[in-house]
Amino acid sequence: MNSRIILNGEEALWQLSPLTDTALPIKDIPIQQGVASAYEALSVEEANNQEWHLMRFFEVDEALLNYPAMELVMSGVSRYAEVRINGVAVFDCNELMTRYRKDIKEFLQLGGNRFEVLFLEEDEDDWLLDDSEASGVCEINQAYHYRFGAVKDSDIKDDIGVFGVCFFQPIPHLSLNHISVEQIWHHGCELKVDVYFKTYKPNLISASIKFDGMTLTIPVDVRGDHVSALFQVEAPKYWDDQTKNSNDLYVVSVMLDGQLHELEIGLSKTENVIHFPL
């Protein structure tokens, strides 16, 4: 099963505080509701001209602290924001439709913890992500290459908020970092799936990779950095960019050490390798 800890469930309330017009009242809202919709007299344009602070508390017990790593995963942040854990800035988000992910265990403490999202005026000189980190963030801009947690246009509201995923992912041993899918065309089609990981704590682990109704369970050699699976595609369905028939899509599902990721792809002879940084 997937072991992620969801932070933006429908019933989870976040404290919303205005930083510009402090005469506005403090509100408790779901993070996916949107800032402007929390105030009847405030338009989206007016809200965008201000800075905002979203906060919620969460508990961390000894069991969670015993994990070698704890990753924070966020997507669908509608405008520039700074993310903080217990007052420490851990990364920046911009307006791009990207998915952010970072090990934040060092910022956690036993008992109560504070998670903050500050929607601020953007200042690129103060960005926390360096060039190497930014290059590891993938923009999903092709309709038939979709992964779990990626942001689609339909997810984004005309408001300020976090409209994608927001969760903690405990890492028992291995962190699933990257998936690549290669289409090999000759007399038929083969699909090669490479699953890349980072080892935090060695153990006997297997990766489960599923495609088109077939599941392969592959032992992981933690001395390396990836495992591979090769599937024969029987009577392949071709993806057409013009018709965009969803029935022609295939799902690739990867489970590694409690982390589940699903990719939706279309087969095409014009495609070779598709990369999915996670």
The pTM score is 0.80
Confidence of residue 186 (pLDDT cuts 50, 70, 90): confident
**Direct distance between the N- and C-terminal alpha carbons of the chain, in angstroms, rounded to an integer:** 18
Confidence of residue 144 (pLDDT cuts 50, 70, 90): very low
Dihedral sign of CA atoms 170, 174, 180, 185 in order: negative
Cβ pair 68, 106 in contact under 8 A: no
Alpha helices in 68-192 (DSSP H): 131-134
Top-confidence residue, 142 or 173? 173
Output the CATH code of domain 5-170: 2.60.120.260
* Per-residue model confidence as pLDDT tens digits over 209-253: 999 999 999 999 999 999 999 999 999 998 887 888 889 989 999
Residue ranges of domains in the chain: 5-170, 173-277
Residues in the chain: 278
In CATH terms, the superfamily for domain 173-277 is: Immunoglobulins (2.60.40.10)
Cβ pair 54, 116 in contact under 8 A: yes
Q: Which residues contact 94 (CB under 8 A, 6 or more apart)?
A: 77, 80, 122
pLDDT value of residue 239: 85
CA distances from 19 to 24, 35, 48, 119 (A): 9, 12, 12, 9
* Per-residue model confidence as pLDDT tens digits over 71-111: 998 888 888 999 999 999 999 988 656 778 899 999 999 99
Q: Which residues contact 231 (CB under 8 A, 6 or more apart)?
A: 190, 191, 192, 193, 211, 212, 214, 216
Return the half-sphere exposure (C-beta side, CA atoms, 13 A cut-off) of residue 133: 13
Percentage of the chain lying above the pLDDT 70 cut: 86
pLDDT of residue 141 exceeding 90 = no
